[in-house]
Amino acid sequence: MDVPTVSVLVPVAVDTCYTYRVPPGMALAPGDIVAVPLGPRTVLGAVWDDPVDGSVGHNRLRPVAHRYDAAPLERSLRAFVDWVAAYTLNPRGMVLRMVLRSPQALEAERALALLARIGPPPERLTPAREKVLAALGAGPPRSKAALAAAAGVSPGVVDGLVAAGTLGLVAVKPPPAVAPPDPDHGARPLGPEQRAAADALMAAIGTGGYSVSLVDGVTGSGKTEVYFEAIAATLRKGGQALVLLPEIALTGDFLDRFARRFGARPAEWHSEVPAKSRERVWRGVADGSIRAVAGARSALFLPFSALGLIVVDEEHDAVYKQDEGVSYHARDMAIVRGHIAGFPVVLSSATPSIESRVNADAGRYTRIELKGRFAAARLPEIRAVDMRRDSPERGRFLSPVLATALAETLAAKAQSLLFLNRRGYAPLTLCRACGHRFQCPNCSTWLVEHRFRGVLACHHCGHSERRPDRCPNCDAEDSLVACGPGVERIAEEAAALLPEARITVLSSDLFGVREMRQQLEAIRTGGVDIVIGTQLVAKGHNFPLLSLVGVVDADIGLAHGDPRAAERTFQLLAQVTGRAGRAGGESRALVQTYAPEHPVIAAIVAGDREAFYAREIAERRRTQLPPFGRLAGIVVSGDDRASAHGYATALRRAAEEGGPILVLGPSEAPLAVVRGRHRFRLLVQAPRAADLQGYIRAWLARAEPPRGGVRVQVDIDPQSF
């Protein structure tokens, strides 16, 4: 007799599906979410499209344990999982793991059983019973406990009324997780350039099939309002919309703007959202009751039932690249999901990635440009401060020009921002007597002094120790000196310059998300005179009172040997200087540098974006670096240096040579030791048209598998190298 079987993909590190027996009375279709036995455990899984493996004897097949009522994973989502796995060279099960949530998320929310008036008053109407009926009144149904408490009687009295047929249980559907957004709630009239951009965007999106649009507009040009039009159109057609944002946990401002436009906040999806709420969002997205989600990169793997648009805001941001586990780029995968399911994707940025700009120039994306700021606001006047001539005294980091500008801004009761992309007080501590430097015991990095917290800390593994009074090496007293500045040290200097100023330091290590949101609100509403911050402050915030931006050290990022250093520095400087003057009025930015002639700095000061893009794109083309060529990083790590290096060398020897694909290395990874693990890296460089994944897959299959705690991690399209 034929036994019905199914293929099930399980969220563990395997690529193949397992075959299970379908128990009598259970009907299963691809996408259904099930519980299945796996070894001694029962795990979640999803019925997949692969043909069943007929080689396993039916008597050895184990049955599917349970089928959940949750909406099945759509065909396009299943194809997306397969695609991401093949592209990133990860087992499909690991990608499915990013889709499936806990079993609780899969159970339909139980209808609440509440008591309501369903019959005439009881024959015996005691005073206690009267109190209960009065408490219920004409109001909504309530639970037994709530009703008894409101009436000030024991629950037994309520039971009596139920027995008498006066009260009865009614099923009440729980309220939706979030109110549905209304596309026509609060549309604001758009400015002329905005209107033109919105029209161009709607034309590019057309009837809603796959397309990619790049909204490329200077900071403060009003890009959000432009892509809100695309969201409104999607909602009107009954589609769901997803907006990806970097640092979503900090952008409460965005949620409010969305609510003003659409009458309801979008559902939030990121790691700060409590597990219970996330389960509700997962379910609401799957059953279609949630229409709009604002989320971090992982929202890309939510099981939307009718996804019709993805917006990737600040598409250039490096946080879209996930490096742990399955390493994927959320912007690129958003485009893949749109392509597979057939819906438009909108990218938005004031400083588009080189990749997106090249794709737009090649006609693969529609580029929509906004050249001026919204309404009366002007871009700030930007000046370089040449630190070779205008340097502060030793041990200080703010030039006289910048110090004067800070004082003027304070006197004018306006706000200033000092930007330095370095947490803590000082990046290096050394002993003047013996030269000892404080290094992390687990990583190849210096410990960073955090004076506010009184510790020396490693920014890679989290190691921290108290800052000692004496040198641990030579025992000298008062010999330890802080070298170079971090934001805490700049705050100290600013406070010494302007003791009356209200200063706040925004740095992720000093505050939790809640305090950070409060700080951001205080900045917006004028509770702060001088903001000092790391790259966190450069990200999309609206600080209406800000009129001066000081970049403490514009050269930091340029020193990296990384081919993306120029792009990253340009983006960061354009974003941070672009925080000034967003609400109108005069504004300026002072950029402290030792290399004012460097093309990146020159382009920033001249406000000449096109000069930067033209030069950088030509350079990438010349060197065949992305997007003109393709890269993959292969990191080999191990507890001991020799075995990691030995395996990396063996891997290199196993690589196929002589073809169009080059393998470079092994070399020590940029951070050679992290958390006690030694890391070596091989870099694979391929022409655009080459089958990079096929090459790596065949190569790794050919090589001896690693042993002795050595691990191999593949990173397709690495962001730093």
Residue 88: both structure tokens together = 């990133």
Minimum distance of ligand ADP from residue 189's CB (angstroms): 6
Smallest separation, CB 441 to Zn ion (Å): 7
460 binding Zn ion? (CB under 5 A) = yes
Cβ closest to Zn ion, residue 460 vs residue 598: 460
- Among ligand ADP, Zn ion, none, what does residue 399 contact (CB within 5–8 Å per kind)? none
CB of 221 to ligand ADP, least distance (A): 4
- Residue 188 binds what, of Zn ion, ligand ADP, none (CB under 5 to 8 Å, by partner type)? ligand ADP
Minimum Å gap between C-beta 113 and ligand ADP is: 45
CB closer to Zn ion, 447 vs 532: 447
CB 297 within 8 A of CB 270: no
Cα 565 from Cα 721, distance rounded (Å) = 10
Name which of Zn ion, ligand ADP, none residue 507 binds, using a CB cut-off of 5 to 8 Å depending on partner kind.
Answer: none
Q: Is the Cβ–Cβ distance between 577 and 607 less than 8 Å?
A: no
Q: How far is the CB of 507 from ligand ADP (least distance, A)?
A: 23
Show the tokens assigned to 184.
């026509």
Q: Which residues pair with residue 637 across a beta bridge?
A: 679, 711
CB of residue 350 vs ligand ADP: minimum separation in angstroms?
Answer: 6
**Minimum gap (Å) between residue 361 Cβ and ligand ADP:** 21
In angstroms and rounded to an integer, the radius of gyration of the C-alpha atoms of the chain is 30
Residue 21 contact, options Zn ion, ligand ADP, none, Cβ 5-8 Å cut-off depending on partner type: none
CB nearer Zn ion, residue 439 or residue 518: 439
Residues 462-501 that bind Zn ion (CB under 5 A): 463
Q: Which residue, chain included where needed, has tokens 């194809």?
A: 79
List Cβ neighbours of 291 (8 Å cut-off, separation of 6 or more): 180, 181, 235, 240, 241
636: left (phi over 0), alpha (psi -120 to 50) or beta: beta
Site string for Zn ion, 420-449 (x = CB under 5 A): --------------------x-xx------
Residue type, 110: R
Q: Which does 246 bind (CB under 5 to 8 A by kind): ligand ADP, Zn ion, none?
A: none
Residue 461 binding result from ligand ADP, Zn ion, none, given CB thresholds of 5 to 8 Å by partner type? Zn ion
| Residue whose tokens read 């010999």 | 479
- Which of 458, 482, 549, 636 touches Zn ion (CB under 5 A)? 458
Strands 530-533 and 503-506: parallel
- At residue 107, φ and ψ (nearest 5 deg) are -80, 135
Q: Are 270 and 248 in contact (CB under 8 A)?
A: yes
Q: Is 17 annotated as a binding residue?
A: no
Point out which residues pair with 214 in neighbouring strands: 347, 367
**Of 409-417, 452-460, 525-533, 554-562: span binding Zn ion (CB under 5 A):** 452-460
Residue 582 partner contact from ligand ADP, Zn ion, none using kind-dependent CB cut-offs of 5 to 8 Å: ligand ADP
Show the DSSP H helices in 385-486 as ranges. 400-411
How far is residue 266's CA from residue 302's CA, in Å, rounded to a whole number? Answer: 14
Residues making contact with ligand ADP (CB under 6 A): 188, 190-191, 194, 217, 219-225, 374, 542, 582
b (16+ CB within 10 A) / e for 399-436? bebbbebbeebbeeebbbbbbbbbbbbbbbbbbebeeb
- Reply yes or no: is the peptide bond before residue 666 cis, omega within 30 of 0: yes
483 is in an annotated binding site: no
Looking at beta carbons only, is 62 or 371 nearer to ligand ADP?
371
By a kind-dependent CB cut-off of 5 to 8 A, residue 458 interacts, out of Zn ion, ligand ADP, none, with Zn ion
Residue 440 annotated as part of some ligand binding site: yes
Among candidates 93, 89, 108, which has minimal Cα distance to 38? Answer: 93
Closest to 328 (Cα-Cα) out of 669, 680, 336, 311: 336
Q: Which residues are annotated as a binding site?
A: 431, 434, 440, 443, 458, 461, 471, 474
Residues in contact with Zn ion by the rule CB under 5 A: 440, 442-443, 458, 460-461, 463
Q: Which residues are annotated as a binding site for Zn(2+)?
A: 431, 434, 440, 443, 458, 461, 471, 474
